[in-house]
Every structure is written in C-alpha cells, then in structure tokens.
Structure 1
Amino acid sequence: MPASPSPAPDTDAIVRVRGLSKTYAGGFQALKNIDLDIRRGEIFALLGPNGAGKTTLISVICGMSNATAGTVTADGHDTVRDYRAARAAIGLVPQELHTDSFETVWATVNFSRGLFGKAPNPAYIEKILKDLSLWDKKDNKILALSGGMKRRVLIAKALSHEPKILFLDEPSAGVDVELRHDMWRLVRALRDAGTTIILTTHYLEEAEDMADRIGVIRKGELIVVEDKAVLMRKLGKKELAITLQQPMEQVPATLARWPLALSQGGTVLTYTFDTQQEDTGIAALLRALTEHGIDFKDLHSSESSLEDIFVSLVHQDQAPTPSAQKAIPA
C-alpha cells in the first residue's frame, strides 16, 4: 500500500484536509502532511494505535488545536479564516468526560445549543434525550449520573445544535452494552438523515460493522484510505482447512498449483488465497484430491477480519491471518 495516499479531489467532500502537519514544542511531529476528503453523508472510521495521531487530527479539524501547516475546510468553511461557521457545522463527542457537574441534563444540553446561536427548540432536545435514553434523567444534575449516562449527555450536547458533521472520539470507551447499542442505532439514523459521521474506535468489529470507509493512521501519517469493502477485498485472505481421513507425509507434487500447507501430523491441508481470487479453485482442488484418492472428512473456511488487516497495516511485517471461522458441510 502507498505510504502517503493522495486522494483525487472529491467534489462531494464535506471535510477537506490538505497538507496538514502538526509539530509540538520540542519537535515532536504528531501529523505529517495529511491529505483527506471525507464524503458528505458517510460513516468514516479513523483507526490507528495509541499515539498515532487520531485525536490530534480531530482536534485540528474541529479548530481546538492549530496546525503547523496545511488547511482544513468543513462544509465549505475554512476552519481558521471562518472558524465560527466551520465549528457550527461540527459536533464533537470527546474521549474525556467533562461537563458542568452542577447543571441538570436538560439545562446543559440546551445551553450547548445556545452557544452556537441556535434558537430554542424544546421538541428537538426532547427527541435527542429520548433517543439516548436520557429523558427520565433530564432534571438530574450531571454529578449524580453514572459514567455511561455522562457519556450519553456528551453525545446529546454534540447533537444539540444539529451539526452536519459529527466526530465521535472513542465513543465506546468504558460504556455498557446498552449504551453502545443505543449509540450505534442513533448513529445509523443520523447517517440516514444525511449527517456525516467520523469515528475513532478500538473496537474494530464496530468499525467493520458501521463504517463506509476506513482510514488508517500510523505515526502521524495516513497510510491508507479506502472503501471498507474494497480494503477487505484487497488485503483480506481466505483459508480453507481440509481435515483428512488419513494422514499424509507430504503434499503430492501434482497439487503444486494450489498453495497448500500440511499440518504437523499430516492430518490437515490448508489452502490460502486472496479474497480477490475466484473461489472456483476450491472446487477444482477438492476434485483433484478425490482423483488422487485423498479422502477428507471436514472443511472449515476462515477469512481476514478488519482487525487482522489493521494489525498487518500497522506493523507491516506480517500478512493478515484469517480469524473469523465458519463451518462448511463436507
């Protein structure tokens, strides 16, 4: 994969990042010449190990940190020259739980809406609180809420001014299963209504389930940006494990056209192939085994998950190893 993807201009990009770099005092370069277009109405998952630059990138896009070089536009507004309009288009759910502990849920969400110059809209605020299962807590003070409920309040605050772009920075960190389900149900509804979602997460199964596109950042560099389905097709691997009726000492030379590995003990043959390849090779392989008098009693297929691909991209010293298994009747 190219180390520094340079996307062609996307005419439907709602967030456009060009040549973005960020160097902190002391010389540490957190971001290195980032180019990125985020499409209107998509769910974009930004993945990377701790310290890769995910939160720094979000902070710069949201105008909370100044870039050393480069430009960012949000909904057509430059985040430096037209900060107020750009920031009004953005809702942010940060990692940290911080809000006014002595305010009620209703007051803090309403106040957040007012900060962006939006007219009061009690019906809209009520809908948000109900969607996040906060309605029965609307008169509670923030300090009396559990950590999961405080996380819900942060999401409600981020949505209070009806942003076109929503950033979710590790939104699932430390939350319960119920909130996670509520949150992803709401995210899908927002995307269906036209909101653009950018999320970072360490729960890669969530990114695999939710995202339309994936970006991977490593040591401040954006190393890949791709449609999720295309990424998994390009970098994914599939395996077929064939359990033999009788062990064999070695793979016959006549089966050399298939990349077969024989397990210790000679009881399992493993056929590994790219997901871009046609699966018709499996049928030909099974016919060849039968023609050679090699009987088998079980088949299992497996394929790379997004987690496997992520690990291979971040470390770039190993191929993705299939992990998600499913049985196939022999």
Structure 2
Amino acid sequence: MGYSSLIRLEKGPSDSLLIAVFIFLTAELVKVKKEGGSGFRQTGEVLGSLKALMVLQDDIQINQKQCCLLLNFFCLAFKTIAEEIKQNLKLEEKNTKWRPLEEPLREVYRVFKEGELYVRRCLDNKDWWGKAISLHQNKDSVEFHIHNLLSCFPAVIEAIEIAGEISGLDQEEMTKKRAMLVKKYDRGWSDPKLFQWNFGKQYLIPREICRQMERAMREDRWLLIDTIKEKRRALPPGKSEHRLGELLLRKLNVLAPANGKLPPSSIFVRSRRLPSEEKTRWKSAQGNSMARGEFCFEAFLSRS
C-alpha cells in the first residue's frame, strides 16, 4: 500500500488534500533552495552555447562581425559579474544569502538568451534574401541587445553588493562592508575621472568596445556587398533574385542611384513596442518573405 493510500485511510478527504498540498509546497521550496544562484548558472550555459555556435562564425553571411562583437561583449559582462561574486559572496551561502541576485540574474539570462537567438537567426541561411533586406541596416540588431544588457547590469552589481553586506558571520567584517558601500555613493565620486578610475569596470563601456562596434558595422556592410555581388554573378539576369540584388546594391550606394529614393528596409518589417514591466521589447510583425515582397514592390513604384 502506497503512502497516499495510508493518508486516505487515516485521515478524512479534506485532511488528505491538505497533506498533499503541504507535501507539494515543501518539495517546491526545497527545489527553489537547491537552485540558489541558478540564474548565474543558466547565463553561463547560454554563453557556452553561444561560444559553440560561433565556432561556425565563418558561415555567418549577414552581420558576422556584429555577432562576434556581441559574443565578446557578453563574455566581458559575464566575467565582470563573476569577479564581483567572487569578491563579495561565499559559495556555501548561495542557498540562503544569494536571494537578492535571482531576479537581476534572470534578467541577464533573458538578454543572453535573446542574443543567442539573434546569432542563430544570422547563422541560418534559409531565405537569405529576406534576411539581407531585414537585417542589413538594422542597427537595433546588436545595439538593441547591448542596450538591454547595459540597462540591467547596474541592478546586478547593486544586488551583489546588497547580498555581500550580509555575507559571512563576522559582524566586524559586515560593518566594514557597509561602510565601504556607503562611501561608494559619496559626492566626491561625481568627478568623471575619479568615477572612471574606481568604478569604470563595473559601470562604463570600454572605449575599445565602441570602436569595435563602429568597425563591425562597416565591415559587415562590405562583406554583404561582396556576398550580393557573388550571388548575382551566379544567377541568370532574368531571375528575380538578380534584380533584387541590384536594388540592394543601389540602396547600399554601390551602383548609381535609382530615379526614386529607396526607403529604408526597416519600414517593410513593421515593429511595435510590447510593454513588459519596466522595459519594452521589439517584436517583428512580419516575416522575411513578406519584407522581401514589399521591398521589391516599393522599389518598382519608386522607379515608375
């Protein structure tokens, strides 16, 4: 006879239900406690998956350099978070004192996951022409993911500091940590140079990353132009893709401009903001195939 049968024999129906609910909630609570710090672990798993994807980076035909930049940026962010955790927290306390980190780390995990999905989309060469139209001048692609990470990064740093205040058992050490944290918010640090020297690694983007972003966008444009030219040479002149490649090259100012000005491709892939707590997300309302058809139609109208 099972445990649930014994409960039904010894207790009434209502008591059995209460005991079952109690057992379920207890199991869930134990599960939550065992998963302390799971947000950091899951973020690391996504970063590992992204690194595995980028082994095939030479096969990325659209925004290859920007995908590499995104990986480098994610690695830098993860390394910074790991160093802060090492300095402020103790591993044996992750089930008790890491609770303030869970929500900020879940947000970082979400940003990493969205970045991984973007790289997967760039790596997939199906409907290449549609992706070329929708992604070739879409600066939101990498900038959007970097912006999202920067938006939630200070919250992670502050959560680590809050958890670090109560980390350990030595009261004197905890008092010193609180004193250091209070000094961090002194007005003296409002000087840009002093702030950069002391907190630049936590809160400021390295200048090299900004330069890399500009270079990546330029290089991706050159690579896209070369790829379009190669694909056009492999197609007969009567093919619609051949004509589409010509229109894209005109838009990229490689060929002589058309009689009418081609509008940016971003208007063909409609986007809308979806509120999600304190942030917004961009969701594509149309697929690449639809964008491709509207791009050709508008280009035809602009020349007529």
For normalisation by structure 1, the TM-score amounts to 0.24
Per chain length, whose mean CA-contact separation is higher, i.e. which structure has more relative contact order (CA < 8 Å, sep 6+)?
2
* Higher alpha-carbon Rg: 2
Q: More helix per residue: 1 or 2?
A: 2
For normalisation by structure 2, the TM-score amounts to 0.25
